[in-house]
Amino acid sequence: MNIHEYQAKALFEKYGVAVPKGMAARSPSEFDSALTALDHGPFVVKSQIHAGGRGKGTFTDGFKGGVKFAKSKAEAIEFANKMYGNTLVTAQTGPAGRKVQTIYFTKAADIAKEYYLAILLDRATSLPVIVASTEGGVEIEKVAHETPEKIFKILVDPAVGLQGYQARQLAFQLGLSGDHFKQAVKLITNLYRMAWETDASMVEVNPLITTTDGQVLALDAKVSFDDNALFRHPDIVALRDLNEEDPKEIEASKFSLSYIALDGNIACLVNGAGLAMSTMDIIKHFGGNPANFLDVGGGATKDQVQAAFRIILTDPNVKGIMVNIFGGIMDCNTIANGVVAATRELGLTIPLVVRLEGNNVAAGKQTLAESGLAIESADSMADAAQKIVRLVA
Ligand code: ADP
Ligand code: MG
């Protein structure tokens, strides 16, 4: 789960990570009071969307910059009005962009130098890793590619946590000294504690800055949390902004379905994540393109199968459906009944290929055959994939 910059910064403050003073406004009626609370300018006006690259982004009406410097309150309100309700396209949003529904006003900082700081999970060692660079404010992928020697990494042993010497080493590698050094050590230590205690899978501060008046501040904040740990963080779940999520994925989560929208035209309904991935692979193998990943889980009910069909069909790109079920715990006939009910309920008009195998498969096949519906049966995964690819061609 992702949160907005202004929410991430509130968490930062709670953990003693210094940020510039800021106020969020969820509607234009709040612009004035938010800016009044910040006292005097200059300000930076920031579009709140779950994507980076906002500063260099462009709105669909041609207005440039999702992050703008404003000398005065009047100018800040003018920019906020241009951003609010407008759609921002950045390198990370895809061409459709994201609609801005919250504006974050912050005090402008007098930047001396921009750095990069992130806390992630290192897949190779299965350890938390802190990544820092003297090259901040720019795309870190580019720095990693062109000047890898400017990127520093520290692996943390979770059993003992981040050690003081590790935070000091990182601050030293960033070339900081004196009071900046002390502040950076404190900031890194507190940020790690936040990431650990909140089960964050990623915390990215780009840029981390030193100011001309001697401060070290997190100027931007991007935080993602591990969905599997959200059950122990109700305060974080409360920060979820459904405006930022695909409505199909929200609907799927209500029915405990793992659904991820993709851009192909063959929808898949599968039980088990591994089988769902190999189903997408085999569709590709035979020249098709999957429209989604969908795992109905090991013990899906008829209701879940019906919900899955409804969600699949709200995607206008879908031209055919492939159901691939291996009944281990799952009863194939439960799936067959769900498929028949959904086909009837939705008046399905696009091709549907069903491959069932395993527990109670004979009854499942009989249910499909006796339904009188135009459901194509398949005997194997390859057979099903070839059939659906041919039918949508
Ligand atoms: P994004 O990464 O989405 O473009 P940032 O928050 O990093 O958004 O803002 C883009 C740039 O704007 C920063 O790299 C920084 O140079 C500048 N900026 C952002 N916030 C402030 C601020 N409070 N004071 C001064 N400059 C800022
Ligand atoms: Mg940034």
Task: Give residue-wise pLDDT tens across range 272-319.
Answer: 999 999 999 999 999 999 999 999 987 788 889 889 999 999 999 999
106 Cβ inside 6 Å of ligand 1: yes
Looking at residue 256, its pLDDT comes to 86
Strand partners, 268: 322
116 catalytic, yes or no?
yes
Looking at residue 1, its pLDDT comes to 92
What is the Å distance from ligand 2's center to 311 Cα? Answer: 34
282 Cβ inside 6 Å of ligand 1: no
Question: How is 290-316 classified by DSSP, letter by letter?
Answer: BSEEEE--TT--HHHHHHHHHHHHTST
**Pocket mutation for ligand 1, best pick of 2, 21, 44 (most atoms within 8 Å of C-beta):** 44
Can you tell me which atom of ligand 1 is nearest the CA of 111?
25
Looking at residue 137, its pLDDT comes to 84
42 Cβ inside 6 Å of ligand 1: no
Distance, in Å, from the CA atom of 30 to the CA atom of 95, rounded to the nearest integer, reads: 30
Ligand nearest to the CA of 51: 1
What is the Å distance from ligand 1's center to 24 Cα? Answer: 15
204 Cβ inside 6 Å of ligand 1: no
Question: How is 190-229 classified by DSSP, letter by letter?
Answer: HHHHHHHHTTEEEEEEEEEEEETTS-EEE---EEEE-GGG
Query: Which H helix or E strand runs over 88?
Result: strand 87-89
Q: Name all domains of the chain by residue range, CATH numbers in brackets.
A: 21-107 (3.30.1490.20), 111-237 (3.30.470.20), 246-392 (3.40.50.261)
Residue type, 304: Q
Question: How is 18-46 classified by DSSP, letter by letter?
Answer: ----EEEESSGGGHHHHHHHT-S--EEEE
Of 116, 135, 192, 259, catalytic: 116
- Among 194, 39, 184, which Cα is nearest to 106's? 39
Residue type, 174: L
Looking at residue 330, its pLDDT comes to 84
Per-residue pLDDT of the chain (393 residues; tens, 9 = 90+): 999 999 999 999 999 999 999 999 999 999 999 999 999 989 999 999 999 999 999 999 999 999 999 999 999 999 999 999 999 999 999 888 999 999 999 999 999 999 999 999 999 999 999 999 999 987 888 998 999 999 999 999 999 999 999 999 999 999 999 999 999 999 999 999 999 999 999 999 999 999 999 999 999 999 999 989 999 999 999 999 988 988 888 889 889 899 998 999 999 999 999 999 999 999 999 999 999 999 998 778 888 988 999 999 999 999 999 999 998 888 899 989 999 999 999 899 999 999 999 999 999 999 999 998 889 999 999 999 999 999 999
User: Which protein residue has the closest C-alpha to ligand 1 atom 20?
Assistant: 219
204 catalytic, yes or no?
yes
- Among 105, 72, 98, 81, which Cα is nearest to 29's? 81
Distance, in Å, from the CA atom of 101 to the CA atom of 137, rounded to the nearest integer, reads: 24
The CA–CA distances, whole Å, from 125 to 154, 157, 292 equal 12, 10, 31
